[in-house]
A and B are shown apart, each in its own frame.
Chain A
């Protein structure tokens, strides 16, 4: 494939450039705009249809942005960065409506709760919970090490990961009633939509997961690299994982995935760096360090075939489906934002 070429179900729509490496991206809940932040600290909002730049703020976070999260119902979103700050923005205002100063040091994770009532963040070994207006509600004790990921099981329960531990917090009180210990550095997190399975990629080239309902855990090893990209589909049937040139797909059908062979999607020439399931159905988008993007149609056993492909300039930082599932955004390491319609 040559650079810029697009095949299959992907049809070129628009592309745009931002200043530096994209750190996070998300669509507004109505799919009307795509918001991106970069490692130079800029925040950019693009119109969904033509890719017109609605507005940008080049130096929102000194030192660089690190995380972003879109509110599930309103046009609010939050960004965080190396400056130790969280900014809450309204898309229509083009400037932050609220700035939360957490302290010196990086704010690396940021996530709205599914009901949009709370915003969770992590700063070093601590997590902080805010109301939608930015008022702090509680903060955790220090974790064993820097918090590596956050996730919401539902609007009442928050999960954090760090080296050696997964902790579940009651988001109302800040109390933690369940934790899973495991000696390893957890670098990525994906939660099944029903909140039962907590899956983590680990520094030692494995994927570890826990089932809350039974307390059982399993380890999937044999990856050639760190699985930094993980994604569950919307039904919780499939868990797609990176950790090598192949996309490894575990099926939770029946008694699986324990004791089953995973699906292996092998077209990338370098390590898989980004994964995202379409909002409905078993359609997966994958991006790699090779600059390739594939759209796969999967079966419930994890096997699948490619439906479309595109080649970008460099490593894929993000792939991100529009909420209607009819467009896919991809962001590469050169700061190019590309959006395709998906037929």
Chain B
């Protein structure tokens, strides 16, 4: 049986009140042409008639071998085992867990049970987060942290309940905990369906084809301001700040909403990767270039950029506007306030127990050393390591090795030839109380 024939399964997790049922109903109403089966552990009101809704209690089954990582969900085995018998197969299965569910056993079911694995493919884990309450929940409950840690997509819902600064801070906190997940902001679970379905998040080959990395970018800029501007020459007015220089990209055609800001951010990440063009005081910044403003002289300083036609312009700055008291002035000298702002990096550190470790290293790895190190790490710490993904350059092997894991279950396979790409290792672990330094040193010891 080939992978294409498998029925994709998406898991929706999130605390009670985070909006799972709302999202579920939205998916069902938009995907009405498809045959979707819903397995509900939290008996909400699914208001769509054509979907087959099956209610089942969560039942966690441990195995007699005593390994506490080897837990599966008995209710899913039972229900999915029955669904796969029908001749009119389903196009998609959605599993809505209870607010207190541990996503580990749910995910492991799709790897541990042969019959389920043959017919179904776990597509992704979507975790809904209630922007108004998640900060308190994260401190209090392991389940809440685990749901964030396991997610492929974090839907930051109910953004209308908190102000923008809180939202930015919250997003930074979530990204710190889970660097693999995409974050999407919304009100009333209004997200495009294609951001939560058909992700192939557990099929690395396919996922990497769509996005070359499974690490969400760490933005090299801290702040974005979006301005609605008429044609003319604009002045960037800055005070002295903590650094003698600051990078900046001016992006024309910037869209104001969350999706637009993210798209702009990804575009600017690539601009930031280019060499800088130094701009002296009084100089002009060109749109789209990675400019470096020279700020070493004393007092307030001005730089300029030109707007040819009516436009919405984004400024992506290396530091926050506050740090340099950045102001934008129009051709008439009047200050222009931003129409939207976004802070990309946390203002203060959270000491969450759950966090991500991302390792990126050039060169080749000794496969035996890697096996020994990773095997030992997962054996000893598998309970606390929720998800793992990696692209590895094995010495002497022309193919990239990719792997992904849930707790102690690890699935590794050759991906595609390296070709002309630089041979580079990328490894991400998400877990609880992980010793980052030891893990980094452990991986480095596997390098040749």
**Which chain A residues have a beta carbon within 8 Å of chain B's beta carbons?**
20-21, 23, 39-40, 63-64, 66, 82, 104-105, 108, 124-125, 145-146, 148, 163, 182-185, 202-204, 206, 219, 225-226, 317, 333-335
B114 at the interface (CB under 8 A from A): yes
B384 at the interface (CB under 8 A from A): no
Report Cα–Cα, A63/B115, bound state, in Å.
22
29 pairs across A/B with beta carbons < 8 Å? A20-B87, A21-B85, A21-B86, A21-B87, A23-B85, A39-B82, A39-B85, A39-B86, A63-B52, A64-B86, A66-B82, A82-B54, A105-B55, A124-B57, A125-B57, A145-B59, A146-B59, A163-B74, A184-B61, A184-B63, A185-B72, A185-B74, A202-B64, A203-B63, A203-B72, A203-B77, A219-B64, A333-B85, A333-B87
B237 at the interface (CB under 8 A from A): no
Complex partner residue of B57 from A146, A203, A225, A334, CB under 8 angstroms? A146
B78 at the interface (CB under 8 A from A): yes
| Closest A residue by C-beta to B61 | A185
Q: Which residues of B contact A185 (CB under 8 A)?
A: 61, 72, 74
Interface string of B106-128 (1 = CB under 8 A from A): 00000001110000000000000
Interface string of B67-105 (1 = CB under 8 A from A): 000101011011000100111100000000000000000
Q: Which residues of B contact A163 (CB under 8 A)?
A: 59, 61, 74
Interface centre among B52, B55, B70, B85 (most CB of A within 10 A): B85
Chain A min CB distance to B66 (Å) = 8
| Closest B residue by C-beta to A22 | B85
B62 at the interface (CB under 8 A from A): yes
Q: Which residues of A contact B55 (CB under 8 A)?
A: 104-105
Chain B min CB distance to A145 (Å) = 5
Complex partner residue of B63 from A20, A204, A335, CB under 8 angstroms? A204
Chain B min CB distance to A323 (Å) = 27
| Closest A residue by C-beta to B72 | A203
Interface string of B271-299 (1 = CB under 8 A from A): 00000000000000000000000000000
Q: A334–B72 contact, CB under 8 A? A: no
Q: Which residues of A contact B113 (CB under 8 A)?
A: 203, 226
Given A39-B87, A146-B59, A163-B59: 8 more A-B contacts, CB < 8 Å: A20-B86, A20-B87, A21-B87, A82-B54, A146-B75, A163-B61, A163-B74, A203-B74
Q: Which residues of A contact B2 (CB under 8 A)?
A: none
B14-33: which residues lie under 8 A (CB-CB) from chain A?
Answer: none
Report Cα–Cα, A108/B77, bound state, in Å.
14
Report Cα–Cα, A206/B65, bound state, in Å.
11
**Which chain B residues have a beta carbon within 8 Å of chain A's beta carbons?**
52, 54-55, 57, 59, 61-65, 70, 72, 74-75, 77-78, 82, 85-88, 113-115
Known contacts A124-B57, A225-B114, A333-B85; is-contact A183 B64 (Cβ 8 Å): yes
Q: Which residues of B contact A225 (CB under 8 A)?
A: 114
| Closest B residue by C-beta to A219 | B64
Q: B65–A204 contact, CB under 8 A? A: yes
Nearest first, the 6 A-B pairs at minimum CB distance are: A21-B85, A184-B64, A185-B61, A204-B63, A145-B59, A39-B86
Q: B86–A226 contact, CB under 8 A? A: no
Report Cα–Cα, A182/B63, bound state, in Å.
10
Report Cα–Cα, A195/B204, bound state, in Å.
51
Report Cα–Cα, A8/B70, bound state, in Å.
45
Q: A145–B74 contact, CB under 8 A? A: yes
Chain B min CB distance to A37 (Å) = 12
Q: B74–A146 contact, CB under 8 A? A: yes
| Closest A residue by C-beta to B59 | A145
Q: Which residues of A contact B61 (CB under 8 A)?
A: 145, 163, 184-185, 203
Q: B115–A226 contact, CB under 8 A? A: yes
Q: B87–A334 contact, CB under 8 A? A: yes
Chain B min CB distance to A81 (Å) = 11
Q: Which residues of A contact B88 (CB under 8 A)?
A: 20
Q: Which residues of B contact A108 (CB under 8 A)?
A: 78
Q: Which residues of A contact B115 (CB under 8 A)?
A: 226
| Closest A residue by C-beta to B118 | A289
| Closest B residue by C-beta to A315 | B85
Report Cα–Cα, A335/B88, bound state, in Å.
12
Report Cα–Cα, A33/B64, bound state, in Å.
43
Known contacts A203-B77, A226-B115; is-contact A183 B85 (Cβ 8 Å): no
Chain B min CB distance to A52 (Å) = 24
| Closest A residue by C-beta to B63 | A204
Chain B min CB distance to A168 (Å) = 21
Known contacts A20-B87, A334-B87; is-contact A146 B78 (Cβ 8 Å): yes
Chain A min CB distance to B99 (Å) = 20
Interface centre among A82, A204, A225 (most CB of B within 10 A): A204
Q: Which residues of B contact A184 (CB under 8 A)?
A: 61, 63-64
Known contacts A66-B82, A146-B59, A146-B74; is-contact A335 B64 (Cβ 8 Å): no
| Closest A residue by C-beta to B85 | A21
Complex partner residue of B114 from A20, A63, A226, CB under 8 angstroms? A226
Chain A min CB distance to B72 (Å) = 7
Report Cα–Cα, A304/B264, bound state, in Å.
71
Report Cα–Cα, A98/B59, bound state, in Å.
33
Chain B min CB distance to A125 (Å) = 8
Q: Which residues of A contact B65 (CB under 8 A)?
A: 204
Report Cα–Cα, A64/B87, bound state, in Å.
12
Q: B64–A182 contact, CB under 8 A? A: yes
Q: Which residues of B contact A202 (CB under 8 A)?
A: 64
Q: Which residues of A contact B86 (CB under 8 A)?
A: 20-21, 39-40, 64
Q: Which residues of A contact B63 (CB under 8 A)?
A: 184, 203-204
Q: Which residues of B contact A39 (CB under 8 A)?
A: 82, 85-87
| Closest B residue by C-beta to A21 | B85
| Closest A residue by C-beta to B112 | A203
Q: Which residues of A contact B62 (CB under 8 A)?
A: 183
Chain B min CB distance to A310 (Å) = 21
Chain A min CB distance to B43 (Å) = 9
Q: A204–B64 contact, CB under 8 A? A: yes
Q: Which residues of B contact A148 (CB under 8 A)?
A: 78
| Closest B residue by C-beta to A228 | B115
Chain B min CB distance to A160 (Å) = 15
Report Cα–Cα, A55/B437, bound state, in Å.
72
Report Cα–Cα, A184/B62, bound state, in Å.
6
| Closest B residue by C-beta to A108 | B78
Complex partner residue of A335 from B77, B82, B87, CB under 8 angstroms? B87
Report Cα–Cα, A91/B306, bound state, in Å.
88
| Closest A residue by C-beta to B88 | A20
Report Cα–Cα, A64/B63, bound state, in Å.
30
Q: Which residues of B contact A40 (CB under 8 A)?
A: 86
Report Cα–Cα, A185/B75, bound state, in Å.
11
Q: Which residues of B contact A21 (CB under 8 A)?
A: 85-87
Q: Which residues of A contact B57 (CB under 8 A)?
A: 124-125, 146
Chain B min CB distance to A36 (Å) = 14
Report Cα–Cα, A206/B64, bound state, in Å.
10
Report Cα–Cα, A282/B61, bound state, in Å.
36
